[in-house]
Structure formats: C-alpha cells, structure tokens
Amino acid sequence: MDSSTPITSDNPIIEVENLVKHFGKVEALTGITFNVTPGEVFGFIGNNGAGKSTTIRILLGILRATSGSAKVFGMNAWEDPVAIHKRLAYVPGDVNLWPNLTGGEVIDLFVSLRGGKAATADMRKRRDELIHKFELDPTKRCRTYSKGNRQKVALIAAFASDVELYLLDEPTSGLDPIMAQIFEDCVLEKKGQGKTLLLSSHIMSEVRDLADRVAVIRKGALVEAGAETEAAIAEMEAEAKRYAESIN
C-alpha cells in the first residue's frame, strides 16, 4: 500500500527514529535517529562496520528493524518497499550484475525498474552522456567487467534515472580519482536539480566536498546527527588522531 505523505520541509524524505537492529546477540544499530530533508546532500559517515550499510538496507526494505521506525517518503520502509523503490535509485559499494547481460542492457533494465523509460529520447541521451563521461564500454558482457566498471554501471543507471532520492552506499568504491571526480560532478548536478541524496562513506574528504549536513555513526550509535559538515568531520578526524596516538 502507498501511504505516502506530501514531501515538504516539514515532512522529511527520510525519517529514522530510535532504530535498533540485532543480528543474534550482535547489536548492529543501537537506537539511531536522524532526518534527511528534501533537496540536500546528507552525509552518513563512519568506519567500515559502523552500521551505515545496515541502516541503508533497512531503508530499502531489505532488512527488517528489530525496533524503531524507518520511513521514506512518509512510508514504512518494510511495509511499502515497492512504492518506495519506484522513487529512488540505489548504488551499493559492491555491485553484482547479471554476467551474461551487457553493461548497456543492465543500465536500461535498472532505469526501467525505477519507473523510467529507457527508450525515450531524453533518457537515452542522458544515458549516453554518462556512458561517455564514465568511459564505459556498454557492449561488453558484465562478466568481463572489473570492480570499477561494475560500479560505473550502477552509477550510470542511478544518475540516468529521474527519481527523487539517491541512496549512495560507498559509491566510489573501485573508482580511480578521475572517475571519482566525475561522480562528484554528478552529485552536484542532481543537487542543483533539487534532488535529495544520502551519501554513505568512510572517506571524509568526499563527504566534506559534497554534504550539507552529516550523521557520524560509530559501532551502531550516532556520534553526531544532522550536524554541520565541517564541525562534525573535524571532530571525527580529531578522534581518529587521538586513537592513533593511544595505540602507538
């Protein structure tokens, strides 16, 4: 069922409240709370294993929360995943593709699944522009792609889609510095169009360059939630420095 509410500055696109997730005896999320408002780039930063991907998978309806609330577009993430997925694009940090399809076929399939029409002139123009920018050969079968090229397929499919929300989980994994810069340009372009992006990363410089606000997560708990980017990252860097000094 689609029980979405109108998206305004008073109705955030993402609402996470007291979110808890257990895997057996392991508490992956300890009760996190944050909101993502329309039109912003929201950074979600933390070390590997901090709980970033677990949170995103709950927002996607892939995992069910142990307790707490996760809403996207005003809808319950677990109860309304089909309606939610039509309005967002997702890029994981480790992309798996159909080995016998070409990269171009996969891109068109992903765009179609998100409610887009890959055959329209505007969509194909945008797709082709992104293929050129990311220097991808779309005629090769996915089984021949390196990790970086698989990542490019997912990014092209996401940015070619005209959706409201982009969930990007370690999206530059496997990309070289030039392609990472192309990615950043695409993020800023989407932001300029009024789109909303959640950028999950452990690379602080990437988040610093792109995010309006950030949530800092460590061991399943939020250290900062919705803080100004510079201040939050400065504190995280200082904490990392203190930790490094303590073990030397």
Distance CA 94, CA 214 (A): 23
Quickly state the pLDDT bin for 115 (edges 50, 70, 90).
low
pLDDT score recorded for residue 226: 73
Report pLDDT digits (tens) over 186-242.
Answer: 999 999 999 999 999 888 888 888 999 999 898 899 887 776 666 766 766 776 677
Report pLDDT digits (tens) over 71-104.
Answer: 999 999 999 999 999 999 999 999 999 999 999 9
Distance CA 190, CA 193 (A): 5
pTM of the predicted structure, to 2 decimals: 0.88
The DSSP symbol for 162 reads -
Contacts of 245 (CB under 8 A, 6+ apart): none
Domains of the chain: 1-87+165-189+197-248 (3.40.50.300), 99-163 (no CATH)
For the chain, the residue count is 248
Helix axes 121-133, 147-160, angle to 10 degrees: 150
Which residues, in sequence order, are bridge partners of residue 224? 216
Which residues, in sequence order, are bridge partners of residue 44? 200, 215
Report pLDDT digits (tens) over 8-59.
Answer: 446 899 999 999 999 999 999 999 999 999 999 999 988 888 899 999 999 9
pLDDT score recorded for residue 7: 46
Quickly state the pLDDT bin for 148 (edges 50, 70, 90).
very high
How does the average pLDDT of the chain come out, rounded?
89
The C-alpha R_g of the chain, in whole angstroms, comes to: 18
pLDDT score recorded for residue 119: 55
Distance CA 116, CA 155 (A): 15
- State percent of the chain over pLDDT 70: 86
Q: Which residue has the tokens 């932001």?
A: 191
Residue 12 and residue 73 in contact, taking contact as beta carbons nearer than 8 Å? no
pLDDT score recorded for residue 1: 43
Q: What is the DSSP string of 15-70?
A: EEEEEEEEETTEEEEEEEEEEE-TT-EEEEE--TTSSHHHHHHHHTTSS--SEEEE
Report pLDDT digits (tens) over 134-143.
Answer: 999 999 999 9
